[in-house]
Amino acid sequence: MNRRFLLAATAAAALSATLAQPAAATDFKGKTITMIIPFGVGGGSDVWGRFNANLLQKHLPGQPAVVVKNQPGGGSISGANFFAATAKPDGLTILGTSGSTQFPYLLGAPQVKFEYKDWIPILAAPTGGAAYLSSKLGVKSLKELDKIKGQKLHYASQGLTSLDLVPLLGFRMMGLDVNHIIGFPGRGEGRLAFERGETTIDYQTTSAYLRSSMPLIKSGEAIPLFSWGTLDKDGKLARDPNFPDLPHFEEAYEIVFGKKPSGVEWDAMRAFLVAGFPGQKLLVLPKGTPNDIVETYRKAVRDLLKDPEYIAKRDDLIGEYDQLTDKEGEQLYVAATTISPAARDWVRDFLVKNYNAKFD
């Protein structure tokens, strides 16, 4: 584990140095490229993958067929393990991962047989989200959270090691006493539980928040707290452009406690926050892929990001965030797949002691 973390510190620089070498064009004419999506059909990752697959097919030299292969299982671990074991470095197999793939990797789950540091990123896709509180609690803003100190709140959770690990850690850091009700199938069901008064605190991803949670806030039923935030070019948390009036999590902590967050608990929270939101979805090539193939893919991504079809459909299909490649994509990739050994040990111990989680 220590070696993995030390390697992460130089991963972005190593990727940049390697890929900076001159690369010849690669022609995929007559070829079929398989994009493995380790999730079922119809989910967010599947929609994201198919959207990008269609555009890659258009912009890769030779316009090869890009076929999405859904390979669900183990919360996406099965498909990622399969890619690691079988994908050849010929550019004909690529993998799309999500925060649900990154989380067990960051936690050091024994089922994980892949190493993100071995793979080469060609695209990184951010997303976002924001948290809010029931107005029935009598809190009118983030600055009044001390009014409910010690009061039990209720949150609809999809699972301890799902993306809901971020609010699990985040609400705790904010000093909130939250009962995480495990077993909800999705955030949509969580929002409905909030609307019915069964829960008192919730978060939604950006599109769902803007579409379905904003009416609750405008009607006075909910009080906005903070967004999870995004990363700026220096890798620091910044305000989400979709929520310019909301503080990001780090800002919110400082508003509540009068100081910036620090320590191993914050290191753990930040690692999963980045993997779950600013660096949620990643598209990778396997270890050993030649530079010319990598550059061919990255050029195709640069071209698809300027494609009028991408610009017209992006917001509705994959959210209001710019996908990244080249150096920016590499930096986000490293940030989303790195955690210190101390932070990993802290969150594992926390989940074992407080929620009887198993990592054997």
215 and 321, same structural domain?
Answer: no
Q: Which helix (H) or strand (E) holds 37?
A: strand 32-37
Q: What is the largest CA-CA distance in the chain?
A: 65
Amino acid at 122: I
Judge whether 296 and 61 are in contact, CB under 8 Å: yes
Q: Which of 221, 242, 275 is the last residue of a domain?
A: 275
- To which residue do tokens 């999590």 refer? 249
Please tell me the distance from the alpha carbon of residue 199 to that of residue 211, in angstroms, as a whole number.
20
Residue 271 and residue 138 share a domain: yes
Q: Please state the φ and ψ torsions of residue 35, each to the nearest 5 degrees.
A: -100, 110
Which residues, listed in sequence order, are joined to residue 237 by a DSSP beta bridge?
Answer: 231
Q: Following DSSP, what letter does each residue of 166-232 receive, concatenated?
A: HHHHHHHHTT-EEEEEET-S-HHHHHHHHHTTS-SEEEEEHHHIIIIIHHHHHTTSEEEEEE--EE-
Is the same domain home to 73 and 141? no
Pick from 275, 297, 313: which residue ends a domain?
275
Is the Cβ–Cβ distance between 163 and 100 less than 8 Å? Answer: yes
Identify the CATH number of the domain in which residue 171 sits. Answer: 3.40.190.10
**Same domain, yes or no: 165 and 250:** yes
- Per DSSP, the residues of 242-284 read T-TTSPBHHHHHHHHHSS---SHHHHHHHHHHHHHTTT-EEEE
Q: Is 350 helix (H, G, I), strand (E, B) or coil?
A: helix
Separation CA 201–CA 171 (nearest Å): 9
User: Are 86 and 30 members of one domain?
Assistant: yes
Indicate whether 262 and 144 sit together in one domain. yes
- Which pLDDT belongs to residue 25? 65
- Tell me if 113 is assigned to some domain: yes
How does DSSP classify residue 21? Answer: S
> Is residue 351, in this structure, part of any structural domain at all?
no
99 and 153 part of one domain: no
Which one, of 91, 132, 151, 99, lies nearest residue 291 by Cα?
91
Residue-level pLDDT, tens digit, the chain, 360 residues: 444 444 444 444 444 444 444 445 689 999 999 999 999 998 889 999 999 999 999 999 999 999 999 999 998 999 999 999 999 999 999 999 999 899 999 999 999 999 999 999 999 999 999 999 999 999 999 999 999 988 999 999 999 888 999 999 999 999 999 999 999 988 999 999 999 999 999 999 998 899 899 999 999 999 999 999 999 989 999 999 999 999 999 999 999 999 999 999 999 999 999 999 999 999 999 999 999 999 999 999 999 999 999 999 998 888 778 899 999 999 999 999 999 999 999 999 999 999 999 887
Report how far residue 116's alpha carbon sits from residue 287's, in angstroms, rounded to the nearest whole number. 9
> How many residues are listed for the chain in this entry?
360
Cα end-to-end span (Å), the chain: 16
pLDDT of residue 19: 45
Residue 192 is assigned to a structural domain of this protein: yes
Task: Tell how strand 201-205 and strand 177-182 pair up.
Answer: unpaired
* pLDDT value, residue 233: 87
Residue 94 forms part of a structural domain: yes
- The Cα 283–Cα 92 span in angstroms is 13
CA distances from residue 51 to 310, 313, 318 in whole angstroms, order as listed? 8, 9, 8
Position 321 in a domain? yes
Bridge partners (DSSP) listed for residue 34 = 67, 93
3-class SS of residue 40: coil
CATH number at residue 54: 3.40.190.150
Question: Taking a C-beta distance cutoff of 8 angstroms, is the pair 223, 217 a contact?
Answer: yes
The pLDDT assigned to 16 comes to 47
The single residue listed with the structure tokens 């949670």 is: 213
Does residue 356 fall inside a structural domain? no
Question: How confident is the model at residue 359, as a pLDDT?
Answer: 83
Q: Both 99 and 148 in a single domain?
A: no
Q: What pTM does this model have?
A: 0.89
191 and 202 both lie in a single domain? yes
The residue among 229, 256, 275 that closes a domain is 275
Residue 294 · residue 122 · CB < 8 Å: yes
106 plus 158 within the same structural domain: no
Boundaries of domain holding 17: 2-126+279-343
Q: What is the number of domains present in the chain? A: 2
Question: Are 226 and 307 in the same domain?
Answer: no
On whether residue 350 sits in a domain, the answer given is no
Structure tokens, 102 = 């990154």
Question: Alpha-carbon distance 287 to 54, whole Å?
Answer: 24
Helix, strand, coil shares of the chain, percent, nearest 5, are 50, 20, 35
Considering the domain architecture, whether residues 140 and 266 belong to the same structural domain is answered as: yes
φ and ψ at residue 123, rounded to 5 degrees: -160, 140
Residue at 360 is within a domain: no
Helix (H, G, I), strand (E, B) or coil at 333: helix
